[in-house]
Amino acid sequence: MEIRVIRSIVFALCLTLPLPSLAECLADVQLPLDLTFNGNVHSEILANEGDIIRYRQYDFERKKFMEMTVQAGIFVLLADKYPGDAATFHWSTFLPGRKDIVPGAKFHAEASVTRPEVAQPNSYVLDVNVLGAEDLNILGCHFPVMKIMVTNREGKKPALVVTKWLHMPTLITLRGEFIEGGVLHVNEVTAIN
């Protein structure tokens, strides 16, 4: 059960979703907004205020639901699989905001993660390396993004490295990649509804 939550959190780190608008390609987007990612995953953006984004994620293939609250498009604050079954991240270190995510920036953050089904909290460490600014073509639109490498470790589990292309004005991860079990997983926006 814990592995499923971690996989969902990893997917969320890849996606760490979206937005009030998608640059000049979309006009007058209203929340909630539904985004489709490859793999039949849908994300409904509920709020994007300041440095916090909140969304619901539906993985129709795996029949999973999760509601996420994330700081600066990177740092998970809450991952709620079902109402009342939430993994809560208690960060003991500084969490950067949107304005702090600039080329060359590096962050180390530590938290404890509590889950209702687990008696003891797990340690959680996140190392963030902002690799630089890029231009990403998604759905025929060009977006200025930050390419970010995120390494996360929970408890004694092996570290997982996620590369994400984050659109900073909206905190939308338009593309994410990670290797799990020797397989490269790519999550990318395929439709905006």
Cα 170 to the center of its chain, rounded Å: 13
pLDDT at site 99: 95
> What are 178's two structure tokens?
């990670």
pLDDT tens digits along 37-83 = 887 788 888 888 899 999 898 887 777 788 999 999 999 999 988 76
Strand 33-37 relative to strand 41-49, pairing: antiparallel
Counting every residue written for the chain, the total comes to 193
Cα separation, 191 vs 157, in Å, equals: 34
CB-side exposure of 134: number of CA atoms within 13 Å?
Answer: 16
Where along the chain do its domains lie?
2-192
Q: Quick check: 1 pLDDT over 50?
A: no
Per-residue confidence band for 30, with pLDDT thresholds at 50, 70 and 90: low
Q: Look over the chain and give the mean of its residue pLDDT values, rounded to a whole number.
A: 82
Burial (CB count <10 Å: 0-12, 13-18, 19+), residue 159:
exposed
Please state whether the predicted TM-score (pTM) of the whole model is above 0.75: yes
Strand partners, 62: none
DSSP state of 158: P
In CATH terms, the fold of domain 2-192 is YmcC-like fold (2.40.360)
Highest mean pLDDT among 4-8, 65-69, 90-94: 90-94
Query: Are 45 and 18 a contacting pair, CB within 8 Å?
Result: yes
- Residue range 94-119: average pLDDT? 93
pLDDT at site 146: 96
